[in-house]
Chains A and B, each alone.
Chain A
Amino acid sequence: MRRRYLWDRLVKYLLLASAFSALLVLLLIGLFTLQEAWPALVRVGPLRLLTGTSWRPGQGQYGILPMIAGSLWVTAVSVVIALPIGLGTAVFLVEVAPGRLAGVVKPAVELLAGIPSVVYGLFGMLMLVPLLRRLPVPRNSGFGILAAGIVLAVMVLPTLITISADALRAVPQSYKEGSLALGVTHWQTIWGVIVPAARSGIVAAVILAVGRALGETMAMIMVIGNSPIIPVPLSSNPLTILLSQARTLTGNIAVEIAYASGLQESALFATGVVLFLLILLINGTARLLLGKRASASA
């Protein structure tokens, strides 16, 4: 009899250990990346790392500002493209789509989410970049922010759609009925009551999309050109900044880790630390927003 309960206790502690494994992994990741990044953080210093505009390891320059700029540009472009399409699709799914069509769009969104990033990168490289290269702008190689932004937009679209749709579905039906009963059209009701009520969920969706965008690596390095420069317009037209090549924080790591050593390697780890902290911050914010909404509508 006692053996049964002993076994039970043992199992319980084993499982407890498993539960903490995720937390442990998180800590380990933080610790080890920090450790490897330490030499760079000490010798170069966080300030010079974060604000230095020149990344030239050969000459001892380790400024990652160009990569921060690159990541931000690409993320911004992708969100600007994906938000209207994603929100529109979400509203369509929840408010407009006849039943059968929802059964087509929803799996399509899931599939989009499942396609590996290399495939998106390949597609971008072989179809999008040549297309953009045709634009008559000097020094336009096709590779650059726009190409990466478009590819990234397609990649974050599923996240935006799914989470926004969840937020829209969570809006109480009574709001919709109350609005329609006043003689307000469905369209007006969507934008006057439903979407505003789902606001925090939609913002959380955007934030999560941003997190996803910042974390993407392989697709980026295949289409963005990977020049570690701060993006500038290629001609007098300011819009051509979108055709400038760039490098993302993630790309920085992937492109150079293969042959980096010493301080350079350490600086790459430092880039990893910056990424890690950034994403943690972003996801934490989204979690807060989503959590608040969940308890508010309860």
Chain B
Amino acid sequence: METTVNLPLSSRQRLSAAGQPMLASGYGRRRFVQGAGFALLWAAAGLTVGLLAIVIGYIFVRGLPGLSWRFLVTAPEGGLSGGGGISTTIVTTAYLVLLTLAIATPLGSGAALYMSEYAGDSLGLQIVRFGIEMLAGVPSIVFGLFGYALFVTRMHFGFSLLSASLATAALVLPVVIRTAEESLQAVPRDLREASLALGTTKWQTIWGVVLPSALPGMLTGVILSAGRIVSETAVLYVTLGGSSLLPRNIMDGGRTLALHLFYLATETNAPVSKQMATGVVLIALILLINFSTNWLGRKWKAKTL
């Protein structure tokens, strides 16, 4: 920022070069307004960062004391007491993530592959894109309702990992497709052309050249979706049920970490420290996922540059 140490260059003349009376310039006032304005902008940014610090800080400060190895490996007691640990929820979360990704990844990658490698800019493609955009905006509770209506009730899967993963797969599908498509588009044209010029078929080109190159980016998308699944609650609330037991197979229901936190907070008398501790684990998990996404993303960028 400049301070006016020497004389400002404001013209002392009363007539302009072309002979008209000079406009006032208001340098002092404008400089003041700018200073105040920029201070406000700094405040806004500071507030944003501050909010993050407050939310995470509050949870960590009140949750870390309640965190222990015991907490992580004991199962929740269930019922109103809210006692016990979170072991089963962590495992259930892992099950759900794996199952959901098993459904969404092939489907989403396949869609992205088609859109990126095969389709032109036809009307059909535009409709598909539109569909994906719209799907991305649907609230998670509506996915929950959908899962409840179709999988839990109509198909008699009941509250189960199966119902939940199907509904959640629908939820993360747009994310997988979008990131996969971006990664595929980022593969330079020449690579494809070089392979095709050698006489290979389109699929061979994709399998041998395009996919390996786009893989890190697509992996990033998958991990991003995993983060989304871990954070999800609304969909699971109506498709997974609330059992605090470990699901024995995919037809069993259960609780993910996020869902468990919700129940702890709203339906039990669990001590605050326990709720916060659960929150800490959840946030830590998300942070981990975030960092790996960034790290992978950076590695991928470095590779393609």
Contact = CB atoms under 8 A, between A and B. Distances in A.
Chains A and B in contact, CB within 8 Å: yes
Interface of A: 4-5, 7-8, 11-12, 14-23, 25-26, 28-29, 32-33, 35-36, 84-89, 91-93, 96-97, 101, 104-105, 107-112, 114-123, 125-127, 154, 157, 161, 183, 185-188, 211, 214-218, 221-222, 250, 253-254, 257, 268-269, 272, 275-276, 279-280, 282-284, 287
Given A218-B233, A250-B141, A118 B132 contact: no
Given A92-B41, A96-B42, A108-B52, A272 B132 contact: no
B81 interface: no
The dominant DSSP class at the B interface is helix
A221 to B, nearest CB: 8
B212 to A, nearest CB: 17
19 contacts: A18-B111, A22-B131, A26-B134, A32-B150, A32-B154, A91-B44, A92-B41, A112-B48, A115-B283, A118-B282, A123-B58, A126-B275, A126-B276, A187-B37, A215-B139, A215-B141, A254-B141, A254-B234, A275-B142
B47 interface: yes
B61 to A, nearest CB: 11
A287 B135 contact: no
Contact of B233 (A97, A109, A118): A118
A225 to B, nearest CB: 12
Of all A-B residue pairs in the complex, the 3 with the closest CB atoms, nearest first, are A88-B44, A215-B139, A18-B110
B245 interface: no
A280 B130 CA distance: 11
A161 B47 CA distance: 13
A111 B137 contact: no
Size band of the interface chain B makes with A: 35 or more
Interface in B257-305: 258-259, 261-262, 265-266, 272, 275-276, 279, 282-283, 286-287, 289-290, 294
Given A19-B115, A283-B134, A111 B52 contact: yes
A187 B33 contact: yes
Contact of B261 (A17, A89, A112, A122): A122
Interface stretch (B70-78, B170-178, B214-222): B170-178
* Residue in A4, A18, A186 with the greatest tally of chain B CB atoms within 10 Å: A18
* Residue in B44, B125, B174, B238 with the greatest tally of chain A CB atoms within 10 Å: B44
B106 interface: yes
Contacts of A87: 44
A68 B105 CA distance: 36
Contact of B290 (A17, A29, A114, A157): A114
B41 A186 contact: no
Interface string B152-191: 0010000000000000001001100100000000000000
Interface in B106-120: 106-111, 113-115, 118-119
